[in-house]
Structure 1
């Protein structure tokens, strides 16, 4: 670790020297290149602009323009501002200099030289062949023909002096940067390395103190670390495992699969073992095979792929789980047996109900038929009132028995009928049911309130029978009211479930007996008060249950009743 830190510090020092050197070189070179590019661009533009103006003069006097030196001298005099000595000249097509101006940008004291001396010095310093002279030129045109060139020249000696000054400044700046980078970063690096060493120590303490076994391995499967919990789990010491292949902790049958995965993973990237809780089989130092819960994560250390795995012995948990699964399987089998027994019992009960109902029809038909014949016989012999009363009682009992048998048959058939799932308009069905009731009692005054467009999914025939029972009951039990009211609406339940309600202002009932309400042959009113078989609400409950819904009621004596029901999304 110390050697690694020392190498890191030496590397940091080398990079600091490189950065300082780059600063010392790049600033003057950048300044020089920028200045040269700026001057060359200005000279290029001036040459183009001056050549354009001179070409117009040449076009106006193509034969004699070369002899107008004074005018040409005036045109090319001091066209741009620059700190460098410069010269402008006009050269004809043969290369002869027709006119040349010099701008030395010297001080007034130097301007006291004679014109001859000044011209000689300028001509020497602005010679186009001089190493420190840069130039740009543009062609002079006359009727599309090149007749000469306009050339701008500048001496960059002073620019080199300025570059040297910038170089001295950059050397000083580089030295300062070198000092800063070699002192402060090294100090910060040392502090960082110390912090990392402390963090590593804390991580090792944490890793050694946690209860789960933790192992880190390389991409090749070599163990890098092995915490005490892992030593306890596998029965190996850390010295026995670290530096060895992780396969020593696995049964022989699974080692080839691990080799294949570690070889394939860097190329395919299919990390189907990474980040998942897996149940695997491991092997202790004594050869014992045991189940283990494993979670693998991937990380990079010094640019190299590593894996870390946390492990936990689940032998006891798996044993308990197997016992629970066996118990669940046993319970499921018992439930299936009990369900089969109940289904068989229900089928037998339905068959018995149907058989009894069907077999009762024959003697009942005989009673009804012979009582009719007996009535005709008695009528011919002037019967007494008592005999007529007895005969009427016999006929009424036979009729009631027929209604009960029909209701019992209908109730038995509900469980055997297969549902046809369609879209059903409950509002339209309600109107049809109540119109039939009104036809039977046209003189009754009943206020109807049917919510429109209540469309559901269900069996149309069974839902017609459901509404027939509920609305017929509402019509019947509100018959003693001077102004009866019957409503059918859809409300929204607490969880947004559609709840349908049939409400009347009739006789009502005591909620203490509500548990008997939906039982077969259960009545809360006498037959003298309200006729009926006691099968209607049992039929309602059976239909609602077949549709996966619920049915319940709210009422109090003399306050009417409200019957609520829901419908599921699939048949049962």
Structure 2
């Protein structure tokens, strides 16, 4: 056993170490507090004084919620949690010495006595008041922006719906007068056959050709409106089989053409077979059209997985191509990169492709060079 003198020496030697430990704890940014079994303050470091404004003499011996307000109380369920698991973390709302409410992130560790009851609670508290305020402001700002976006989206949808309705009505109402003009001009051409000179016959043919173009444009507009409003039917679709069927129809329409068409096997997709058939009819039909002046025309349908996205299908040809700087114009209604006398068409087909692909959760893009063919790629969600 130690003598009284030895005990005194040990106690004397321990005092500087204890003082050093307290000095280190006072350097801590966090509030470090030790509470007794009744949550009375047993230790209060300089960090606690900085955060809450009470000095050590004011805090020592005070019951924690009496010192910092009822929001700082460790509720009964928290005490049960500490006794059962030894640790607890949560947030407390403390009233500082100057009356400010300090929102504190609190981490507690319990020390139990021999009978398993809480003897002391070690607490580390951080002031998160400004952080939580900033988070609330961000959430509030996000909600305000979300409401504005929703309102603006609703306005745009209403405006787009009005425009679609106007385009549909206009296209529908134009069909009857166009049919009348075409019918009467056909009768006029028949009645005057053999009596018109070449110039007047040319004029009449131009009238009929213009009427036919307007009729095609109105039909295309109606088709675009139908695509925008049609309900999607979801089923498994083999696009390679669709591409082969489209190829057969193209060959039947122009049996005199010798076009090499290569169709690769591709994974089946989930989508509306009718609308996806329209996609391939437009893309492969364009490839068929724009290779009409190519010596050895070739069209390819296939695809490949992308590095960080869905499978990308493609339709490639070695036809006329186009200037890549103007690729962004391709998918707008009535946008054409070639003169009408070179290659016919309404300029609606690629707009329909973009709309259909978009409604399937995908995107479409194109790459080309003049005289070296074009490649169209699309994904489906």
TM-score, structure 1 as length reference: 0.60
Deviation per residue, 1:83-135 (Å, 9 max, x gap): xxxxxxxxxxxxxxxxxxxxxxxxxxxxxxxxxxxxxxxxxxxxxxxxxxxxx
CA contact (8 A) 2:104 2:129 kept: no
Choose between structure 1 and 2 for higher RCO, CA contacts under 8 A separated by at least 6 residues: 2
Q: 1:402 to 1:270 in 2, by over 3 A?
A: farther
1:246 aligns with 2:64: yes
- 2: distance between equivalents of 1:194 and 1:450? 93
- 1:522 Cα deviation after fit: 0.9
Q: 1:308 to 1:377 in 2, by over 3 A?
A: same
1:456 aligns with 2:285: no
Structure 2 gaps of 5+ residues are none
1:265 aligns with 2:77: no
1:344 to 146, 152, 158: 158
- 2: distance between equivalents of 1:320 and 1:549? 37
The residue aligned with 1:388 is 201
The residue aligned with 1:281 is 93
The residue aligned with 2:337 is 524
The residue aligned with 1:312 is 126
Q: 1:450 to 1:202 in 2, by over 3 A?
A: farther
1:223 aligns with 2:35: no
The residue aligned with 1:537 is 350
CA contact (8 A) 1:429 1:467 kept: yes
1:298 to 109, 123, 128: 109
2:313 to 500, 508, 525: 500
CA contact (8 A) 2:82 2:110 kept: no
Note the 1:103-142 alignment, pairs <5 A: none
- 1:454 Cα deviation after fit: 2.7
The residue aligned with 2:216 is 403
CA contact (8 A) 1:553 1:563 kept: yes
> Aligned residue pairs: how many?
375
Structure 1 gaps of 5+ residues are 11-189
CA contact (8 A) 1:298 1:305 kept: no
Note the 1:37-436 alignment, pairs <5 A: 200-252=18-70, 255=73, 258-261=74-77, 264-265=80-81, 269=84, 274=88, 276=89, 278-285=90-97, 288-300=99-111, 306-379=120-193, 382-436=195-249
Which of structures 1 and 2 has the bigger CA Rg? 1
The residue aligned with 1:482 is 295
Q: 1:505 to 1:217 in 2, by over 3 A?
A: same
1:467 aligns with 2:280: yes
- 1:549 Cα deviation after fit: 1.4
Q: Give the root-mean-square deviation of aligned CA atoms.
A: 2.9
- 2: distance between equivalents of 1:354 and 1:447? 38
TM-score, structure 2 as length reference: 0.88
- 1:491 Cα deviation after fit: 1.3
- 2: distance between equivalents of 1:384 and 1:468? 41
| 3-state secondary structure, aligned to 1:356 | helix
- 1: distance between equivalents of 2:224 and 2:27? 71
- 1:455 Cα deviation after fit: 0.8
- 1:306 Cα deviation after fit: 3.7
- 2: distance between equivalents of 1:229 and 1:467? 70
- 1:216 Cα deviation after fit: 1.9
| 3-state secondary structure, aligned to 2:337 | coil
CA contact (8 A) 2:287 2:317 kept: yes
Deviation per residue, 1:194-241 (Å, 9 max, x gap): 998776544322210122212122344232211012123323222332
- 1:459 Cα deviation after fit: 1.7
- 1:312 Cα deviation after fit: 3.1
CA contact (8 A) 2:290 2:321 kept: yes
Deviation per residue, 1:263-319 (Å, 9 max, x gap): 53366x377x81x4x343112235x25031222131537766543322233444444
